Amino acid sequence: MTTLLTWLAGHHVGLYVATALVAALWAVSEIVSTFAAQPVRALRTSGALLLVGLNAAFACLVLGAALATGLAPSLWTAVGVGLAWQMLIRTRINFIQPLPGEGSSEAVGFRLDEMYTRLQAFCRRQIDRTLVGERVRLIEQALTMLDLEELARRAHLVLAALLATGPADPRNYVQKILNSEMDEESKELLLVLTILDHGSPALLRDMIREAERGKKDAEKRTS
Amino acid sequence: MKLFNAQIDETQRQLLQALWEKGPAMPLELAVRTFMLPDEIQQPLQELEKAGLVERHAFKGGEMLVLTKLGQEIVRS
């Protein structure tokens, strides 16, 4: 136990943990602000976990490089790197020891930056895909359970409170959909999307639950 | 950038703004966000794609519209 503690202290493990935590928190805040409409759902995706882990890992890598250049191993260094490591690799500050031979610190910084940007984009795409997949499943459920009349009524209520910000008036949108030449299924789909987008996924889930309950009650009565 | 801004009409501006504010969307979702019918956004969307402001990403259930970096800059400017 003592040996382990000595080893941990000798390798500044506490500092790495602090850096990883700060970087992970930073990543969480980025995800929450990027997916402001569904922050909790976005955070639960595998893409989000990967992005948080990636941030922590890259920040630790930068802390390791910074400590190797002789930077004082203090808590402030760890927190500072946790907060600013993205800026450090993006501005290619010369904090990494130049490698002997052809490699330069700038090249290392640049490659890290490029690699992180690609991985970050990959994680964001994964989060997008998961969220869209969830939306598609919810839409399918709504289309199976709810009819045009009910959807139109709820969509109208959702839009009633919205103010026109562009040339199209939100309050006329339901009527516009109903009057269009689209088939009934397309109209239902647009109304479901209206409730989902201008109302909330929770509202649509409640409607589906209500319809399921109603269906069960009706079945009980007939049996 | 100013040149791009001058070439974008009101509908296209709304589409870009909707993608910026609520993130990537399926084409139908984008229509709903802007209170338009799917037919009404088809042409403006194609033009935005041609101009490199919006791109389509395929996924399992269909396709998703995403703002490109240039598209993001246009909305911000």
Select from A70, A98, A132 the last residue of a domain. A132
In a domain, A65, yes or no: yes
B36, A168: Cβ pair inside 8 Å?
yes
Residues A171, A104 share a domain: no
Q: Please tell me whether residues A152 and A191 are part of one structural domain.
A: yes
Which two three-digit tokens encode residue A55? Answer: 């941030």
A167 with B10: Cβ contact below 8 A: yes
Does A31 share its domain with A111?
Answer: yes
Q: How far apart are alpha carbons A206 and B69 in whole angstroms?
A: 37
Please report, for residues A90, A194, A197, B16, B44, the alpha-carbon distance to residue A170 in angstroms, rounded to integers and kept in the order given: 43, 10, 12, 18, 20
Q: What mean pLDDT is predicted for residues A11-34?
A: 88
d(CA A163, CA A206): 25
Domain count, chain B: 1
Contact B37 A125 (CB under 8 A): no
What secondary structure letter does DSSP report for A196? I
Same domain as A172, residue A72: no
Interface of B with A (CB under 8 A): 10, 14, 22-24, 26, 28-29, 31-38, 57, 59-62, 64, 66
pLDDT surpassing 80 at residue A211:
yes
Which CATH number belongs to the domain containing residue B56 in this structure? 1.10.10.10
CB spacing of A190 vs B23 below 8 angstroms: no
- For the segment B32-61, what is each residue's pLDDT rounded down to a tens digit? 999 999 999 999 999 999 999 999 988 766
Which one-letter amino acid corresponds to residue B48?
L
Is residue A67 scored above 80 in pLDDT? Answer: yes
A62, A124: one domain: yes
Beta-bridge mates of residue B67: B54
Express each pLDDT in A137-178 by its tens digit. Answer: 999 999 999 999 999 999 999 998 776 666 667 888 999 999
Residue A204 CA to residue B73 CA, distance in Å, equals 34
Confidence of residue B12 (pLDDT cuts 50, 70, 90): very high
| Separation of alpha carbons A85 and B16, rounded Å | 31
Instruction: Tell me the two tokens of residue B22.
Output: 């609520």
Give the residue from chain A lying closest to B22, CA to CA: A37
Q: Which of A75, A100, A132 is the last residue of a domain?
A: A132
Q: Is A169 in Cβ contact with B37 (below 8 Å)?
A: no
In chain B, what is the straight-line distance between the N-terminal and C-terminal CA atoms, in Å?
Answer: 8
- Residue A131 and residue A122 in contact, taking contact as beta carbons nearer than 8 Å: no
Q: Are residues A35 and A116 in the same domain?
A: yes
Structure tokens at A167: 């040339």
Q: Which of A132, A157, A178 is the last residue of a domain?
A: A132
Q: Which domain holds residue B22?
A: 2-76
Q: Give chain B positions within 8 Å (CB) of A182.
A: 37-38
Does A150 lie in the same domain as A128? no
Tell me the residue range of the domain where A170 lies: 146-222
Nearest to B33 among A167, A189, A197 (CB): A197
Rounded to whole angstroms, the Cα distance separating B35 from B20 reads 16
Same domain (yes/no): A161, A89: no
In chain B, residues with a C-beta closer than 8 Å to the C-beta of A42 are: none
Report if residue A119 sits inside a domain: yes
CA distance A1 to chain B (A): 50
Structural domain contains residue A140: no
Closest CA to A89 of A108, A64, A68, A75: A108
Dihedral in degrees, nearest 10, Cα atoms A172, A177, A180, A184: -150
Contact A42, A131 (CB under 8 A): yes
Query: In terms of domains, do A125 and A160 share one?
Result: no
ipTM field: 0.82
**Per-residue model confidence as pLDDT tens digits over A107-146:** 555 577 788 888 888 998 889 888 878 888 999 999 999 9
- Mutation pick from B10, B30, B35 vs chain A, by most beta carbons of A within 10 Å, is B35
Considering the domain architecture, whether residues A8 and A105 belong to the same structural domain is answered as: yes
Q: Are the C-beta atoms of residues A56 and A20 closer than 8 Å to each other?
A: yes
Q: How many domains would you assign to chain A?
A: 2
Q: Check A190 against B38: CB less than 8 A apart.
A: yes
